[in-house]
Structure 1
Amino acid sequence: MKIALIIENSQAAKSETVHAALKAVVEPLGHEVHHYGMYSAEDQASLTYVMNGLLAGILLNSGAADFVVTGCGTGMGSMLACNSMPGVFCGLINDPTDAFLFGQINDGNAISMPYAKGFGWAAELNLQDCYRKLFEGERGLGYPKERAEIMRRNRGILKDLKAVTCRDMLTVLKSMDQDLLKAAIAGAQFSNLFFANARDESIRAYLKSVVDARAPQTA
């Protein structure tokens, strides 16, 4: 599984702590971590929590990522932004119990975590425990087990409902503020990671045109 990590500007100084905790848990399980930034508070390309959601939508709908790990100060803004995107089902995760229940009951494809609120001593251990509860073992089995079938049906109903209430990702990309889109994909590693992994050719082609138009022209 390809897991995308996205960190916004207010918490960029904690990027390496979050990245290291995620890799320590998921890489031994055979998953890949693709870090889309921010990488430090000094990065030229700055991501807001709104851009976190937009990037999550791009990566999940294009197939460039199978799962997104993101967050902000409280985790709330990034969660809301992610859930505004088609095909993205993001949970707010504060502790390992949240992670376990989200994975078993909701079986979404993104999580948002608080990287300021409650982020104190040994915070990296809480991060690792959350990732273990989420990524170890099979998700979507239900909890309690006797309600697994109704939970599975409800996930399908929610997915169908979101498909009706949201436009497709390509339409979103073409209709949105193009300056916001350009800023969201301006990260140093976006092109290298995205174009090597994206499977949806229509999204891939449109973002290639945006990237090419943004590139400085040579005489």
Structure 2
Amino acid sequence: MTSSNRIALSSDHAAIELRKAVAAHIEAQGWEVVDIGPQTPESTHYPEHGAAAARLVASGECLLGIVLCGTGQGIMMAANKVKGIRCGVCADTFSARMIRAHNDANMLSIGARVVGEGLALDIVDAFLNAGFEGGRHATRVDMIKALED
């Protein structure tokens, strides 16, 4: 069963500080954060963190997920290997809205070495406040889902 207000949050070592800022920001909006990221700066492996957060979303334990690494690319690739996950990396608010509105993305990835904290929080807001438009986009999302089988 999906908890409608739970967000899985994780990162590698490169994005700990930004992850903490994102956590505080979304908690202030009433979201329950399930933060499974590292707490210390020792080098970690982004594929493990991306997959772990994606599993929480795919299982229904969390409604959405947000993952972060240096560029956002590697952790996004790992998350997308989990069946049922549609994760996009965004460095602007337009893309963050569109991955929800047109692609029904259930996870967002951000590069901590690409965007600053202020823009990252705006990206998170754009992602969380957008809704899936359905219609012709539903057909395309169904085509993406079919690729998993």
Deviations 1:9-61 (CA, angstroms, capped at 9, x unpaired)? 2222443223223333x42xxx321111223326xxx6421112220332123
Contact 1:75 1:92 in 2 (8 A): yes
- The CA distance in 1 between the partners of 2:23 and 2:53, in whole Å, is 17
Q: 2:120 maps to which residue?
A: 127
Distance 1:130 1:98, change over 3 A: same
**Number of aligned residue pairs:** 145
Deviation at 1:151, TM superposition (A): 1.1
User: What TM-score does the superposition give when structure 1 sets the normalisation length?
Assistant: 0.60
**Which residue number corresponds to residue 39 of structure 2?**
39
C-alpha distance in 2 between matches for 1:129 and 1:15 = 14
The structure 1 segments of at least 4 consecutive aligned residues displaced by more than 3 Å after TM superposition are none
Gaps of 5+ in 1: 142-147, 165-219
Return the structure number with greater strand share. 2
1:93 equivalenced with 2:90 (yes/no): yes
The equivalent position to 1:79 in structure 2, one of 67, 76, 82, is 76
Q: Which residue of 2 aligns with 1:5?
A: 9
Decide whether the 8 Å contact of 1:16 with 1:39 is kept in 2. Answer: no
1:131-189: CA deviation from partner (whole Å, max 9, x where unpaired) = 2211125x111xxxxxx522111111211221x1xxxxxxxxxxxxxxxxxxxxxxxxx
Three-state SS of the structure 2 residue aligned to 1:33 is strand
Which entry has the higher C-alpha Rg, 1 or 2? 1
The yes-or-no answer on 1:140 pairing with 2:135 is: no
Change beyond 3 A, Cα 1:150–1:18: same
SS at match of 1:6: strand
Residue identity in the other structure for 1:74: T
* Aligned-residue offset at 1:88: 1.0
TM-score (normalizing by structure 2): 0.85
Deviation sequence 1:68-111 (CA, Å, 0-9, x none): 10021111101111111211110111111111111111111111
Counterpart code for 2:56: L
SS at match of 2:54: helix
1:48 to 42, 45, 53: 45
For residues 46 and 68 of structure 2, the distance between their equivalents in structure 1, rounded to whole angstroms, comes to 8
Equivalent position SS for 1:84: coil
Query: What CA distance in whole angstroms lies between the structure 1 residues aligned with 2:70 and 2:99?
Result: 20
Structure 2 unmatched ranges of 5 or more: none
Corresponding residue SS for 1:113: strand
Greater Cα shift, 123-132 or 67-76? 123-132
